[in-house]
Structures are given as structure tokens and as C-alpha cells.
Structure 1
Amino acid sequence: MTKEVIPSEISNELGFMQCVLDAVPDPIVICDECGRYQNANQAFKQLIKHAGGDYKNQSGSILDCMDIFDEEGRLLNPENTPLGLALSQQCEVKQRIIIRSKINRKSDIWSAVASPISTDFGVRGAIITLHNVSELVSYIKKTERLSFFDDLTTLPNRNSFNQSLPKEIDRCICTGTLSALLFLDIDNLKAINGALGHTAGDTVIKAVANTLLTLLPENDCVFRFGGDEFVLLVRDCGDTGEQVARNLSSLSDNIIQSLRSDIYIDDMIMPISCSLGAAVMPEHGSKAEKILRGADSALNTAKSSGKGVLSIFHEGMEARISKNFNAQALLRDAFINDGFVIHVQPQFDFSGQIVGGKPC
């Protein structure tokens, strides 16, 4: 039997096309209509080699030599891979997949595009292009995490809190339960930063975060608002207002005492003073803004009461704070616009002459 000879022109053309394929940095593989290997570039061969597979295995689909998962980590059946879908549906399929190495179990995330190769006689195969997007996905996840978690303490941040609070209020209304929002402010953080530096201040913030996490039940949440302020979401903290007040007082006492004795900087106990303000939902409001304002008013009351205490919001609190604020505003305005008039009480000697005066 005479061996078929490929004309040199065709051989040169095939060689050139293979060079073009090998020059592409992304893995490319060509399969027949059953998904069996036909050709590939060097990038694909290296991928299969690292995955611990045999790309020349002719017994089944080319993708049988790899473990392929979806983005959620579920193992894909061959018919649900990009190649399987492209061949069965006879259309281009784009899908993000995870390819896990059988050698070192390292997982990489790939964007896969499988395009069927069609002729007048139907689908004759498919071409698959892969692009490694692991670094991009990692960057996106890191960015998303920074958007919702504090970088210093790893606690959920203000953005996370803004999403959680309305949901918790709605849950309380639907279930008829009472939850509490507590603002916690570190009273002496500025003094620590000034005396020991911001590194020491960061150590205190992380230590406070860890202390709060250990003292709160697993179902409750701790958020860092930024600076020296934390927010505690205490769920189902009582059936009545009195019971809630007792439970919050007990919790705040534990927090205050722990921060006074459990914070260490350079093997030295650093007593931390904190003030807390609480509002109960939905007792003190059915809207997030109302609850926030109530807890903030309670915190201001606690700080003005000598610090290191808990204050629970009540309706007269806002009016008093608003009155004080308005009075301060009027005083500032009067000072700026020369609104003060000084009255002097004259002083006389025995002869009736004015010898001095005192402001009255």
C-alpha cells in the first residue's frame, strides 16, 4: 500500500498555521464532533501537562483529562462543560470555569469560549479558547471585600452595616422581636495616638474589635464605622423594654470592664474607656435613620455624663440635645456678630466716687 504523500505546499501551509497557533499565549484546542483531540497549541499542551492529564487520549472527550468545575466549585459533567454545550447546542458558548490540577491541586479560573466548527455536512467539531482570569477574579473579590469590610480589623464596615440595619428592622417588625443598636466610642483613643503613636492606636482598635467579638453571641454582629467608633447589632435581646434594658446593661458592663483590663500594648495593660449609646428597634423607630439618630443621641448623652457608661435612648433625649445644639448655635452667632453686651457693676468708695467695676 502506497503511503499518501502530502504536497509540500500544503505541508508548508499546515506548518505555518501550527506556528500561528503556538504563537497565541492563550490555550487553544481543536476537537472533532465527539470532543476528541485533533490539534492544539503549545499553551494548551502545557496546561494539560500541569493539570496531570493526557491530551492525546483518544478514548473520550479532550476535557475528560481535566477536573472542571463551575464558579461555585461544583464538578461539571462532560455535557455541561463549554465543549459539551457547544457540540450539543451547536452554538458558541462562553462560560467561566475552574480547572483544578491533579498534581498540586492548584485551581485556576478560566474564561472559556467554545465555538462549533460547521460545514455543509453539519457540525464537524469545535475550537476551544481559554483565558486565565484568576488574577482578575482575585482583584475583583479583594475590591469587593474592601468595599464591605474594614481593612484593619477585618470587621464588616459602614457599607455592610447600611445593608444589614434595614433588614434587621424589618425582621423585628415581622417577628415581633426586639433588637438593639449600640454605638460604642473609644473615649481615650486620641490621647493614646498622641502619646504612643498611631501604631499603638491601631493595636488598640484591633484589640477592641477582638474583645467585642468574644463578648457578643455568635448571632450578633460587630461593625467598625471608622476612627474610634464601633457599632453593635444585638439581636433578640429581650421580650420587654425592661428586659432589654437589663440585658444591654449587663452586656455593656462586661464590655467596659473587659476593655479596662484586657488590652495590652508592649506587655503593658492599657486601660481603655468607652461610652455606649443604644436604641431599640422597632420600639424607637421603624426606619434606619430614626434608629441611627436615636443611638447617636444616646451616645452623646453617655459621653456628656462622664463617659464610660451606657445610655439608652428615650424620647426626651432628642429634644434636649436639639435644645443644647440650638443654644450653642445662637452663642456662636452672637460671638461672631458682636451680639454680646457687657454690663458692669460699679464700685464706689466712701466718698461716692467710682473706683472700679465688676462684670455682672
Structure 2
Amino acid sequence: MNISPLPLAVFVVDADGIVTSWNKACEKLAGYAAAEIRGRPLARLLEFDEADAAARDAAFTAHADFDCAAHMVCANGGLLPVRVTIAPQALDPDLPRHFSVIVIPGADMPAPRHALIRDLPVADIIDALPCVFYVIDQSGHLLLWNRQLEEALEMPSEDLPSTKVQYFFDEDERPVIIQKIMDAFEHGASSHEAELVGRHGKRTAFLFRCAHTSLGSLPCIAGTGLDISERKRSEHGMRVRERAMYASVNAILITCCEGVDNLIEYANPAFEQMTGYTLAEVKGRNPRFMRAEGCDVDEYRRIHDALARRTGVRSVLRNVRKNGEVFWNDLRIDPVFNAAGEVTHFVAVLHDVTEARLYERRLHHLAHHDPLTGLANRTLLQERLAGAIESSLAGGTLGAVAFIDLDNFKYINDSFGHDAGDAVLREVGARLLRNMREQDTVARVGGDEFVLVIGDQPGAAEVAELVERIRRSACAPVLAGSQEIVPGLSIGVSLFPLDGADADRVMRAADAAMYHAKALGKNNCQFYSTELNQAMHQHLLLEASLGRALGNREMQLGYQPKVDLRSGKVVGAEALLRWHHPEHGLMGPDRFIPVAEESGLIVPLGEWVIEEACRALRSLAALGAREFVISVNLSARQLRQRHFAQRLTETLARHEVDPRTLELEVTESQLMDQPLEAAAVLTQLKALGVRISIDDFGTGYSSLSHLQKFPVDVIKIDRSFLGGAGADSQDVITRAIIALGHSLKLKVIAEGVETREQLAFLRDHDCDQIQGYYFSPALAEDGLQRMVCDDTRLPD
């Protein structure tokens, strides 16, 4: 009988103690080949003590077990301490009365593996394994298993032997399972991954490893299954993340850290689309090859330092595509750590922000530049001016601000059209820019307003020379379509830090100087001065005190009578506003009305005048003068008030005044400022029943076609046409106005009549009414009432 080679030294002897077989482990242990030892007596191989030798013989005789210490006689003559176990050879029925001799080297050495296995509690160990354990016969049924398999299959132990193992898996996996079992029987071992499906649906992924063995004479498969569910979930997560990287719209790079270098290992398709480089072209290269040389040097240095420290970093910088195009890239780089906490890779996510960056730049440009001319706007002007003033203060240099306003620009728009007006603005802006240095600023801050910021000037004389040269250049004719337009520029200049150490004060000073230039006849340049500052100060004080005047009852109305030239009867009066200033005394409207117009206070002042006039009309009606007409002047701001007609209706009703006795005077220039809008407002007012009068007629730019569109009752001849009655030129104009008014069926009133000659001229040419100092100055309300009640008349 042959004994399969085992790591345990075992040989067989017959009942006489003669060796019949010898395994390889014995050869290694004693140094004898099997041929040399076969037929040798046991006593020549093992030396026993006398007592042990007697016990050995007794065991042979009784065919019983025996165990004792001995010495093995080796081929080299040496003696090896061993432990000997002799047992009846009961495993082989063909060798009756034979004994197995097991030799364990060294009595004081640990027991050999097979001896230890013999003494282990195998059943407990199998149940405690961290994996499933199974033994399968050739029919595919379980012979042996552990508790872990029962738990995975959710089945009791009594149900397991009756089910073939392939039915523990999904149907589509069963052919593979059968094949793997067959492979183990045929080839000795196999392994595979599959999911066990429990009776109640529980699914567990296992890595199965099995080997061919036998139980006695029964061939079988023994194996284990390691739960790899967590690994499968991890692998699935990795596949999902890999797919996400592959499908990502953002470019993704993975680099491997090799010393101080970072070489590309992976690039997704989005990277290829973004840069034009394929993975094959970039693999093994450092990503720095895409940098835009000379750009974003500080950002590249910051990234290099972060990678050297093995930390993440984020940056926005420029790279170069394969075709040489530069693009903006929002880059984020993060480190990847291994189990030991060491950085092995970096993952870079790249987002192409070129369009966003260009859009951001466009927005920034639009936010800081005028869309029509491309010049700086008010926001950028404030920044530049603040910087120029700061630099001037620090360096002790002189700077200037020039505030420029185009003269009569509204006339250009109305006469040539808005396209022509835009062309003039663009050309003037371009001329201003050409005459300025690169470090200076040209801004457009309003419809027809430009501002120059000029830094580092030697003195005021040089600034004056420069600004005058700029004015002459900008005033050259502009060709707009087929039209040649000659613009005029009124320029106000302030110097910093002499006229102010902050942007607001310097701008206000230049603005004041510009208005002074307009007051001096336009198309000229004026510098801010101390006297102008004083005038501005007085203007501001006047504005502040004007705001308190109504509340303090400082305003009053005077009424200048209007006389009918045919009857000589007083038929109406013009309400004239006066201000009893607490410091300056009685002030005429020419001193404060412009301030009220500019500040917006004209609206509450106008409403107060209408209230007072209606109250006076009611008082006169109570005295019997029911057809007496009082006229009040309207401002342009009042006409533009959205609900002016509605409020006027309420005021007339509140005072129970006949609308026909209230006359609203508007100037010719007001009407022609926006003729269509003015016509619409006057139509609303006329629908209320009030009378409409055009004041200062002949001083504006109205045409007969426009005049016919306005629902007007009266025109008033400006006093300037009566200043030299008898002069042929003025006589002609006055006669023409009277004739025009009568041809349009309008009444004509002459204002400012001061001499008998003027009166006679107006009578001779059939003027309807007059007012002026020749008959009476403005009267208080009680004086007007007395005049009406006394029926005071114009003498013949």
C-alpha cells in the first residue's frame, strides 16, 4: 500500500515490526530512501527505553495503540529525539495486523500540523469561520456546511441537503455555477463570483473558492465563500464615479505624483473637447505644457506651491488649446490620499469660463462706459477723479476738471433729428478724446454733457490754453448725413486741489463755472472763482430759505389790472408773485423763480398761487364781479405734472370758481420745448373751461402751424416790442402780432405799457387789452377790489 506524501513522517510495519512502506517525510527526517529502509526491523530505526520497549511489544501483541518518546537512528548515524505514536492500520482492510507508526521530531518541539488538526474542535471552528463553508457531492447536494451559509440562504439546516446548490443562485447564473463545480472535480480547483439568493430575497455577493477532495472513498468538493458585498458596492461606486468623470461636461485630469513632478494618467472626453488634445497626446506629460506664457504668473506660482505642499488649490487662469487659442479656465485641484495618508495623485477639474469672463468684461465695460460714445460714464469718472485728486494731493501737483455742455443741443435734435444728434455727440466725444493724453479721462455724464479730468498741469494758464484748444477743435463742423452741423461748447473749469479736495466739490465748482459760461453768451470757457463761489453760496442760501417761505407766510400776490382798450374798463388782472424775504425785503419773481424752477420748488409755489387766485376770484364774485378774469403763470414743471388737470379741477370746485374766470399763462418757449406733449396738456386744461394764454409771444420759435394746434384764447405781446414805440421795425412786429392774433380769432394783450405813445399806437392798431405801469402797477387784493368796485377806467 502506498501512503500519499504528507508533511508528517509516517511509515507502516507488520505484526513482526518489519517496515513495509515509508513516506517522503520519513526520508527527509531520517535520510533513508524508501528502498533502503523497506524490510528493516523497527528496532533498528527507533531506540526505546526498556520500559517503553516492553510496552511497545505488548501493544503489538494486543493490536492496540501506543505512544512514547524515542530516538530515530538516522542514515548519518545520528540520533534524533522523536515522539512515536503506533496505531493499528485499520484504514486499509487489505492489510490486517499492520501498524502505522507516526514520528514527530523533537519531543520538546510543537506538535506537527496534522497532530494539531486532530486535536482541534473542527466543528466549532467551521461554524466560527468569517465565511461560508460547504462540502458538495458529485450530485450537487450539500454534505456539510456552516451556520454562515444558512444565514445567507435564510434557510434552516434541515432544508439545505434536499436542494441542489445551483438553485441557490439566479436562473441565468446557474449554468456557470454547474460548470465551476465540474471544473473543480475535473481540474482540482475553481473560483468564481456570484450572488447567493436567500429564500426571502436577501442577496449576498460571494467570492467562492473550492477544491476537489474526498470523504473516505466519496469524491466531493470542499470550499469557502467570502462575502464581497462591500467590495462590490465599492466597485459599483467606483464605476459610477468613473462614468460620471467620463460623462462630465467639465474637463477632468488625474495626475500621478512622482517626486516633484505630476504626470497625467487620465483625461476625460470633456478635456479632449475643451483643449483639443487626446489622452494619448497628454498621457505622461506635466499639465504645465498648456500654460499661457507670460500670463497669470502669480497664479501659476500659487498652484506650484500648493502642489509642492500636497494641498488643494483653486484658481482662474489662462491656458492654451492645441490650436493655439487662449481660453480662461476655472481650475480646482484636490489631492488623493492612500491608506497611509500619503498623496499619490491629484484630480484637477477644469471649467471653461471664457464666455463668462468675456461677458463679465463686457458688463464691466457697460457699467463704466457710455454706450453711445464709448467714453467713461459717471461711475468711472468718479473713480478716476478721486484717484487724480489723491495723486495731486500726494505729489503736490495741479489738476483740472472741465465740465462741458453742448449749446442748443435740443435745437439740433429737433431740427436735424435724433440720429444727427447722436452723430454730433459721438464726433464731439471722439474729438475730445483725440485732444487728451492717454492718462487723462474723457467722460459723458448726461445727454449733452461731457467732463474732462486733466492731471499733472504746470499751472492755470496751461490749463486754460489746453481747454481753449480742445473747445476750438470740438467746435469744428460735424457732417451728419448730408447736413453740416456746427456745435458750440460752454466749458466750466475748476482746479484741484485749489477749488476742492474731493470729487464732489470739484465737480460742483466746474458745473457752476459752466453755467456761468452759458450766462455770458455760451460757446466760451470760464474758470471757477471766489466770486462765483459766493454767488453759488447765495444761490444755495436762497434755495434753502425759499423752501421755508411758504410755511412762514412770506409769499404774497400782487394783481396788475388788465384794461379793455375799447371800453377802458378793468376786465381782469395778472397775479404776480412777490416774496417778503425776512432779510432782503420785497423780492420780485426774477430773483427767485429761476431758483424755484431749478430746485423743483416751483410746483408747490405754483399750487399756492392758483389757490390764492381762486380765493381772490371768489371774493370778487361775491362783490358782483362775476366775469372778472385773473391770470396766473404756469411753469414747465407744472405742465408736466401727471395729475395737474385733476388737481386744478378739485381746486376750482373747492373755491366754487367759474373756470372761465381763471386764465393760465404759458410762455411760447414752454410750448415749443415739447409741442406735442404741450398740446395734449393744454387740451385737457381747455376741457375744464379755463382760458389759455401765450405769454411773451414773439420771443420764441413757434410757427403758425404749431400755433394753430394749441387751444389758445389769448396771446400777449412781449414788452420788448413796445420799448421804442414809433420805431419802424418794432411797429411792424407789433402790428403783425395783432393781425395774426385777430386772424386766429384770439384776443391780443400788450404787457409793459408805460407811455401814452405806446397806448395810442396800440389803440390805433386795434389791440384788445393792455397792462402796465401807465395804468396801474400791481395792487394788493384789497386795492384791486376797490378799483373794481369803483369802476376805475382808463382815461380817454
CA distance in 2, matches of 1:192, 1:131: 51
1:258–1:17: structure 2 CA closer, same or farther, 3 Å change rule? Answer: closer
1:8–1:303: structure 2 CA closer, same or farther, 3 Å change rule? Answer: farther
Is 1:33 the counterpart of 2:257 in the alignment? yes
Aligned mate of 1:225, from 419, 428, 445 = 445
CA distance in 1, matches of 2:193, 2:346: 27
Is 1:356 the counterpart of 2:794 in the alignment? yes
The 5-angstrom pairing of residues 121-200 of structure 1 reads: 121=340, 122-200=342-420
Query: How far does the alpha carbon of each residue in 1:176-232 deviate from its partner, in whole angstroms, 9 at most, with x for none?
Result: 332221100011221222223222222111100111122234443212112111111
Aligned partner of residue 457 in structure 2, secondary structure: coil
Mapped contact 2:272–2:279 kept (Cα < 8 A): no
Q: Could you tell which deviates more after superposition, 30-39 or 141-150?
A: 30-39
CA distance in 1, matches of 2:470, 2:464: 10
1:130–1:322: structure 2 CA closer, same or farther, 3 Å change rule? Answer: same
The 5-angstrom pairing of residues 78-89 of structure 1 reads: 80=301, 82=303, 87-89=307-309
Q: How many pairs were matched up?
A: 333
2:328 is matched with 109
2:522 alignment partner AA: K
Aligned mate of 1:21, from 245, 261, 279 = 245
Aligned mate of 1:207, from 408, 413, 427 = 427
Aligned partner of residue 162 in structure 1, secondary structure: helix
Shift, 1:95, TM fit: 1.8
The 5-angstrom pairing of residues 208-287 of structure 1 reads: 208-239=428-459, 244=460, 246-287=461-502
Mapped contact 2:336–2:344 kept (Cα < 8 A): yes
Is 1:288 the counterpart of 2:503 in the alignment? yes
CA distance in 1, matches of 2:343, 2:493: 68
Query: How far does the alpha carbon of each residue in 1:75-129 deviate from its partner, in whole angstroms, 9 at most, with x for none?
Result: 987xx485x55643222221223221242x2111111122211112322212221
Mapped contact 1:70–1:97 kept (Cα < 8 A): no
1:27–1:8: structure 2 CA closer, same or farther, 3 Å change rule? Answer: farther
Q: Structure 2 stretches of 5 or more lacking a match?
A: 1-191, 195-231, 543-590, 597-601, 617-770, 777-790
Let me know the Cα RMSD of the aligned residues.
Answer: 3.5
Is 1:47 the counterpart of 2:277 in the alignment? no
Mapped contact 1:273–1:307 kept (Cα < 8 A): yes
Q: Structure 1 stretches of 5 or more lacking a match?
A: 1-6, 348-352
Aligned partner of residue 257 in structure 1, secondary structure: helix
Aligned partner of residue 356 in structure 1, secondary structure: coil
Query: How far does the alpha carbon of each residue in 1:53-91 deviate from its partner, in whole angstroms, 9 at most, with x for none?
Result: 854543x43x15x422499444987xx485x55643222
CA distance in 2, matches of 1:53, 1:205: 55
CA distance in 1, matches of 2:411, 2:449: 15
1:299–1:72: structure 2 CA closer, same or farther, 3 Å change rule? Answer: same
Identity %, equivalent residues: 23
1:309–1:16: structure 2 CA closer, same or farther, 3 Å change rule? Answer: closer
- Determine which structure has more spread, i.e. the larger CA radius of gyration: 2
1:291–1:44: structure 2 CA closer, same or farther, 3 Å change rule? Answer: closer
Shift, 1:321, TM fit: 4.5
Question: Structure 1-normalised TM-score?
Answer: 0.79
Mapped contact 1:275–1:308 kept (Cα < 8 A): yes
Q: Could you tell which deviates more after superposition, 127-136 or 332-341?
A: 332-341
Question: Structure 2-normalised TM-score?
Answer: 0.38
Q: Could you tell which deviates more after superposition, 134-143 or 182-191?
A: 134-143
1:149 alignment partner AA: H
Mapped contact 2:420–2:481 kept (Cα < 8 A): no
CA distance in 2, matches of 1:323, 1:17: 76
2:175 is matched with none
Mapped contact 1:68–1:75 kept (Cα < 8 A): no
Is 1:328 the counterpart of 2:592 in the alignment? yes
1:220–1:43: structure 2 CA closer, same or farther, 3 Å change rule? Answer: closer
1:3 is matched with none
CA distance in 2, matches of 1:152, 1:299: 23
Aligned partner of residue 191 in structure 1, secondary structure: helix
Shift, 1:302, TM fit: 0.8
Mapped contact 1:73–1:98 kept (Cα < 8 A): yes
CA distance in 2, matches of 1:17, 1:166: 53
Mapped contact 2:517–2:524 kept (Cα < 8 A): yes
2:328 alignment partner AA: I
1:45 alignment partner AA: E
CA distance in 1, matches of 2:266, 2:394: 61
Q: Could you tell which deviates more after superposition, 157-166 or 30-39?
A: 30-39
Aligned partner of residue 99 in structure 1, secondary structure: strand
1:70–1:129: structure 2 CA closer, same or farther, 3 Å change rule? Answer: farther
CA distance in 1, matches of 2:427, 2:493: 22
